[in-house]
């Protein structure tokens, strides 16, 4: 039996008594997976993990993916990490960040929605955190879809959307982002392959337009959908502590980062799980 408590009305549970440095019994893994796909976010507090242990822990829940940014766009420090580990930090050497996404807030997004085959889950582990700020906010897109106004459902049902990401962008038009921009077209509403439920599959950072709508209409529809998804009712805001390991479902949630002090260190290790092709609802 896995002990847990809900973190908000729709989004997130905290699991107790699980040491991710140890391989867990299959019954425990199955129960955590059940909670994960239902609540979108799983929190494990007070973990003490090496990079190898973090990768092994991630692998208990699926097939681990390697960090996907091209080698020529990675920092020298990043290249020395395990292939599955992404450094998210504002630490700098000679004035240059040693990792990715170093500073400030970041708009709501799905990890890897810009890939043809997006990763299904992300696990983020906190090594060092600032004294305030840097909270991660999650939204449950099952719940957001269920509550979507009828006229918006009619606009997006059966449609595809273009998603693109300039590496390192924290918001659209971010001048600090790299020029490289992978992109992919996915259903605007997807079916979660483990639950069969519908979830909105668009986000403020990466979704560029709804295919089949004129850009002006697409922009207006997307703005309403983003505002809807980011309502407090669907959210859980996580205040990080050192040793937190947080795993979220990229198929059914979006997340954003709040601002934090530029003069304080924030260091995270990130791993991801490979995903299946995105499923569209049946016509």
| Percent of the chain residues past pLDDT 70, beyond the cut | 100
How many independent structural domains does the chain possess? 1
Per the domain annotation, does 279 fall within a domain? no
User: Nearest CA to 202 among 216, 212, 188, 181?
Assistant: 188
At 179 the pLDDT is 86
Q: Express each pLDDT in 111-155 by its tens digit.
A: 999 999 999 999 999 999 999 999 999 999 999 999 999 999 999
At 105 the pLDDT is 97
Q: Please give the backbone phi and psi of residue 279, each rounded to the nearest 5 degrees, phi first.
A: -95, 130
Per the domain annotation, does 48 fall within a domain? yes
**Any idea what the CATH number is for the domain that residue 116 is in?**
3.60.130.10
| Percent of the chain residues past pLDDT 90, beyond the cut | 95
Q: Express each pLDDT in 176-235 by its tens digit.
A: 898 889 999 999 999 999 999 999 999 999 999 999 999 999 999 999 999 999 999 999
Largest CA distance in the chain: 55
Per the domain annotation, does 280 fall within a domain? no
Per the domain annotation, does 282 fall within a domain? no
At 282 the pLDDT is 74
Per the domain annotation, does 171 fall within a domain? yes
Integer Cα distance of 221 and 229 in angstroms: 12
Could you tell me the residue range of the domain that residue 110 belongs to? 3-273
Per the domain annotation, does 221 fall within a domain? yes
Q: What is the mean pLDDT of the chain?
A: 96
Per the domain annotation, does 152 fall within a domain? yes
pLDDT of 86 above 90: yes
Q: How confident is the model at residue 1 (pLDDT cuts 50, 70, 90)?
A: confident
Integer Cα distance of 232 and 242 in angstroms: 26
Mean pLDDT, rounded, for 243-258: 98
Per the domain annotation, does 254 fall within a domain? yes
Only one residue has tokens 């305030």, namely 132
Q: Evaluate whether 248 touches 110 at the Cβ level (below 8 Å).
A: no
pLDDT of 84 above 70: yes
At 74 the pLDDT is 95
Q: Express each pLDDT in 17-69 by its tens digit.
A: 999 999 999 999 999 999 999 999 999 999 999 999 999 999 999 999 999 89
């Amino acid at each position: 039996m896995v002990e847990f408590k809900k973190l908000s009305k729709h989004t997130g549970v905290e699991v107790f008594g699980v040491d991710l440095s140890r391989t867990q019994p299959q019954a425990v893994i199955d129960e955590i997976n059940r909670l994960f796909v239902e609540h979108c976010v799983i929190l494990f507090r007070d973990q003490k993990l090496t990079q190898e242990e973090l990768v092994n822990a991630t692998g208990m829940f699926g097939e681990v993916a390697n960090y996907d940014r091209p080698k020529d766009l990675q920092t020298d420090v990043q290249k020395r990490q395990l292939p599955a580990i992404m450094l998210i930090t504002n630490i700098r050497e000679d004035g240059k960040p040693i990792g990715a996404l170093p500073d400030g807030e970041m708009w709501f997004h799905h990890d890897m929605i810009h890939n043809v085959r997006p990763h299904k889950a992300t696990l983020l582990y906190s090594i060092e955190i600032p004294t305030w700020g840097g909270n991660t906010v999650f939204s449950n897109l099952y719940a957001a879809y269920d509550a979507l106004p009828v006229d918006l459902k009619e606009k997006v049902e059966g449609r595809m959307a273009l998603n693109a990401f300039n590496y390192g962008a924290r918001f659209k038009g971010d001048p600090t982002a790299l020029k490289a921009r992978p992109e992919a077209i996915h259903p605007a509403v997807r079916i979660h392959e483990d639950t069969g439920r519908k979830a909105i599959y668009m986000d403020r950072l990466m979704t560029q337009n709804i295919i089949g709508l004129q850009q002006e209409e697409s922009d207006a529809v997307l703005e309403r959908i983003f505002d809807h998804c980011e309502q407090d009712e669907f959210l859980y805001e996580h205040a990080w502590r050192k040793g937190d390991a947080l795993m979220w479902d990229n198929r059914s949630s979006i997340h954003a980062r709040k601002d934090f002090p530029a003069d304080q260190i924030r260091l995270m290790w990130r791993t991801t799980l490979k995903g299946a092709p995105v499923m569209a609802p049946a016509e």
